[in-house]
Structure 1
Amino acid sequence: MSDSKANETTATTASTTTTTTSTTATTEPAIVPANVPVEKTYEQWLAEIDKESENVDSDKDALLLKTKELYNLFNGESNAAILWRVARDAHRAASVAEAAGDKDKQKGLLQEAESFIKKALALDNSNPEYHAWAAFIVGKLSDFAGRKERIQRGYEMQHHLEEAIRLKTTDAGVYFSYGRWCMEVAKLSWVERNLAAALFSKPPEATYQDAVNKFIEADKMRPDWRANYFWMAKCYINMKNNKKAIECLDIGVKCTPRDEEDLIVENELVTLQKKYASYR
């Protein structure tokens, strides 16, 4: 399964995250300066960091510091695999800040994540995981953007999602985030659609059923994902299919939280389950 996990934005983007990501991203040879003592090998560093990143209970701020230590020790500026990991772990720390309601910290970490993932893609544009995380990060950053920028970031996010799929991603978070993107497009206002058409000639198109289809694909790759069932339920609510919504909510409540996205939706999931209980 994948090493990282994938998040609601406004306008044309969806926050992903979350997100699930494979540890099979390129592990490029690392260059170690001759005068720097290294107690652990490069491979040992990667294994340790990836394990901590996957652990929902790990301290994500401390993890980010450790990943930056890896960056400093092994010439990370020229290593796409390290750059990607810094971006990933900055995004994860941002998700923890989001869950805690610290928007300023979340935004700063996401901006940092974006700078690192852009550097990773500049070195290697053919890795699906790098495109996946670019999409997750862009989706989250759209929460802090104005209407025009949100629309622009929506197209950017879709591009990275499509690239990740084209490159045969094994990351369920890609389909999860694509589902979130479809949800946001489905609820675009008339003004937003016309603005998108003016900016890009053709506004994005998607329905709530399209979103459900993406969430179903994510479920095939990663069953029992609480956040995935939560957002699928939200789609069914918007489609006035409350029976299917409560089915998803009941399943989601039983799922063990495994990532930051699960923790973010936890309270609202329980609230919605109580609200729609009569539709069982």
Structure 2
Amino acid sequence: MADAELSSQADQLYDQMEYAKIVEILEPKKECDDVELLWRLARAMYEQHKRLGSDAEKLSYLQQGKVTVERAMQLNDKHPNCHKWMAIYLNAITKLQGSRAQIEQGQVIKGHMLKACEYGPSDPTNWHLIGMWAFTVADISWTMRKLAQVIFGEPPKATFQEALEYFLKAEEAQPGSYSMNLLMIAKSYQKLKDNDNAIVYLKKTRDYPVKTMDDQQAHKEAVDLLKYLGVKD
């Protein structure tokens, strides 16, 4: 099968959440020089790692997937999906490795996310990912930030306003494409004490068609937050 056909097949299987099948058909190509096949293999491996049992198994599998991303990036370091998946892999790996790794790699992860946005500005996922990074960093408590500074050095910095701007860019790139992005817009507005706009986006999240696990989580959080804010309709 031609590489272009394999890429198309991988995308169809990804939409069907057949991640193991994608790995099966693309793994023989892991030493190839086709960036499009390599990042798709890495994408499927990332989804597959979620189905593994222990953290040790997940970490080992993620590190294998990261090697595939690294190969793709060596071939084309201006491909937005190479930077996107490198950021995703580094974020997942450092979460399993602990706080020190997260802080030490924080700026590296942000750098890959910004490159993904630079080279792929029309992909809403890129903006959503950098928004999630900014929101998570902004949400670190003052005490934990000071502790991290003392133990590990200067931690990364971000604000909720910055996170909101990234989430809004994701929504602008492809309106209504991702329930979790709508939720994060709402949560960012809430953090900024703008409950009126938060409620608007919470209602959009609540009414979003539930098809995936992310949709289910977003719907539940939206319903709970609307109750917390006293919204009954």
TM-score (structure 2 length as normaliser): 0.83
Q: Is the 8 A contact 1:246 1:277 kept in 2?
A: no
- Cα gap change, 1:109 to 1:237, in 2 (>3 Å): farther
**2:113 alignment partner in structure 1:** 161
Aligned to 2:188: 235
Q: What CA distance in whole angstroms lies between the structure 1 residues aligned with 2:189 and 2:99?
A: 26
Q: Which has the higher contact order (CA 8 A, sep 6+)?
A: 1
**Which runs of 5 or more residues in structure 1 are unaligned?**
1-39
- Give the aligned residue type for 1:129: N
- Counterpart mapping for 1:16-165 below 5 A: 40-53=1-14, 55=15, 58-60=16-18, 63-72=19-28, 75-79=29-33, 80-94=35-49, 97=51, 104=55, 107=59, 109-165=61-117
One-letter code aligned to 2:104: Q
Return closer, same or farther for 1:279/1:158 CA change in 2, 3 Å cut-off.
farther
Q: Which moved more, 1:165-174 or 1:154-163?
A: 165-174
Partner of 2:174: 222
> Aligned with 1:205: secondary structure?
coil
In the alignment, is the contact (CA less than 8 A) between 1:229 and 1:248 conserved in 2?
yes
Q: Deviations over 1:14-44 (max 9, x none)?
A: xxxxxxxxxxxxxxxxxxxxxxxxxx33322
- Paired positions, count: 229
Query: 1:208 maps to what in 2?
Result: 160
Equivalent pair of 1:233/1:248 in contact (CA under 8 Å): yes
CA separation in 2, counterparts of 1:93 and 1:115? 15
Partner of 1:271: 224
The 3-state SS of whatever aligns with 1:223 is coil
Instruction: State the alpha-carbon separation in 2 of the partners of residues 103 and 278 from structure 1.
Output: 40
Hey, what does 1:7 align to over in structure 2? none
SS in 1 for 2:77: coil
Aligned-pair identity (%): 23
For 1:264 and 1:159, the matched residues in 2 are separated by 28
Deviations 1:148-198 (A, max 9, x none): 111123212101012222324432111101111111221223454343587
Q: Tell me the SS of whatever aligns to 1:77.
A: coil
Find the aligned partners of 2:195 and 2:163 in 1 and give their Cα distance.
16
Would you say the 8 A contact 1:151–1:196 is kept in 2?
Answer: no
Structure 1 window deviating more from structure 2 (124-133 vs 264-273): it is 264-273
Q: Does structure 1 retain, via aligned residues, the 8 Å contact 2:128–2:170?
A: yes
Aligned partners of 1:135, 1:188: CA distance in 2, in Å?
A: 20
The alignment's C-alpha RMSD in Å is: 2.8
The answer on whether the counterparts of 1:246 and 1:279 sit within 8 Å (CA) in structure 2 is: no
Q: Per the alignment, do residues 142 and 248 of structure 1 end up closer, same or farther by CA in structure 2, a change over 3 Å counting? A: farther
What amino acid sits opposite 2:137 in the alignment? V
